[in-house]
Structure 1
């Protein structure tokens, strides 16, 4: 017998007992009888609702059962050949990444070595340029038009053009504001003709190679 049938039977028995008691004893008011019937109907409704909830819970458990079975099912094992292919593929990928990192690191080191070597060579050539300029400046004005001096001047200009083509450039100094990144102040002078912290004279030219300083300018700074 279901729960709903049991409740119905209990309600009927309650109604029957209430009727018999009403006949044997003092008749109950109509309102009391009505309240008893409403209470019985309310009990019947609650029983039906409870029975429906149990059925829903049972359906829900039945729906979840395949999911539980699926969760605990053993996954199919991969074929050994596929596992080996995946292992070799992963190994090859890692080796290619390591090789690419090695190539980039080697290129960077080679570039740094080239820069260091080139700067060292440029610095040595600058000593020759200094002597060239001193020699040309020491020539008297009346001898500068001589064929020999004109030839030396052309060689000097060719040398400077070649240095500029490879990235060597002189640092601007006289008339510029003193900059410790490019200038080396070896003397200070009070001169109203120059502004505050302005380079008044250059004793030795400075040069840069590819935006890095090879040699700072030795200068005299005003004020």
Structure 2
């Protein structure tokens, strides 16, 4: 019995040695199998590492060039619209000033004619005629028509007599002592002044009470 066990043990040892030798021979014949698998894993890890920055950029809120271009164009449009609006306002103001200046020039040329009408009326009243001359009546009609048309354009006489002296609308050429008006009041109107809307066309020439 002891010999049989010994033989069986020897057979097992021989079988094990044969398997080890076969495994070693197989490893020598295919040495690249293990090496090829390792780079594949490394490659996958490399791709994962390379992909990480892109995800991190998106996560960090990187701007899209298209969005930046759209924002730039919108900013340009807003600026150009503002510039155009300022240009339009400036042009409208210049037009208004030119029109107003043109009106002033025409009105200034007409004012001496109005002064002559009023002087003629004062002279006729001073003559003390009992009946009005038909010629004077015709002049009065023309005068009233002229003043009505000027009023439609925004022309109006400046109030002077009895008002406080205002250098913005009055031109003081003399001072007088008078009991009728208080100090600083306009006591006499030597030449009538006129306004065009809120602008002075001609200052009133006045005398101021002391």
TM-score normalized with structure 1 length: 0.60
Task: Give the superposition deviation at 1:152.
Answer: 0.9
Q: Which runs of 5+ in 2 are unaligned?
A: 1-54
Partner of 2:137: 150
Q: How does 1:9-48 map to 2 (within 5 A)?
A: none
Q: Unaligned regions of 5+ residues in structure 1, if any? A: 1-68
Deviation track 1:38-90 (CA, whole Å, cap 9, x = no partner) reads xxxxxxxxxxxxxxxxxxxxxxxxxxxxxxx968955445254x554444333
Cα distance change on mapping 1:87 and 1:143 into 2, 3 Å: farther
Question: Across the two proteins, how many residue pairs are aligned to each other?
Answer: 154
Shift in alpha-carbon separation, 1:70–1:166, aligned structure 2, 3 A: same
Cα distance in 2 for residues equivalent to 1:167 and 1:73: 69
CA deviation map 1:139-172 (0-9, x unaligned) = 2342762322111101101111111121111111
Deviation at 1:137, TM superposition (A): 2.0
TM-score normalized by the length of structure 2: 0.64
The match for 1:218 is 205
d(CA) in 2 for partners of 1:130 and 1:204? 8
State the SS of the aligned residue for 1:187. Answer: strand
Alignment partner, residue 77 of structure 2: 92
- Pick aligned residue for 1:78 from 64, 68, 71: 64
Match of 2:149?
162
Structure 1 residue 114 corresponds to structure 2 residue 99 = yes
**Bigger CA radius of gyration:** 2
User: Are the aligned partners of 1:144 and 1:150 in contact in 2 as well (CA < 8 Å)?
Assistant: no
Partner of 2:176: 189
RMSD over aligned Cα, in angstroms?
2.5
